[in-house]
Amino acid sequence: EIQSPGGPYGKVTKDNFGQPGITDLRNPSLAAAMRNLGLAQRFGVGIAIARNALAANGNPPPAFTVTDTHVLVTVRRKR
């Protein structure tokens, strides 16, 4: 399990969390710095990349629990 403090932000809500094309940056200055340092390539694609990688590995899809105060993702092993 991976837990992130802070719930959805901006255009992202509990209802649309993880849907393609719906993204927002909590700290645009920090995001720009991460990109300039080469630590981020693209924004808003991480969940899709994780889902694809898990599927390619034969794992079940990640399970997300989203509240106003945190996001929890559960990654399960192959069956």
Listed by start position, the domains of the chain span 2-74
Q: How much is the pLDDT for 43?
A: 85
Q: How much is the pLDDT for 3?
A: 96
pTM over 0.85: no
Residues 6+ apart with CB under 8 A from 3: 70, 71, 72
Q: How much is the pLDDT for 71?
A: 96
Edge-first strand order for the sheet with 63-66 is 2-5, 70-74, 63-66
Contact call for residues 75 and 13 (beta carbons, < 8 A) = no
**Pairing verdict, β 70-74 and 63-66:** antiparallel
Walking along the chain (79 residues) 10 residues at a time, the average pLDDT comes out as 94 94 92 93 89 97 96 94
Q: How much is the pLDDT for 30?
A: 95
DSSP for 42-57, written as a single string: -SS-HHHHHHHHHHHH
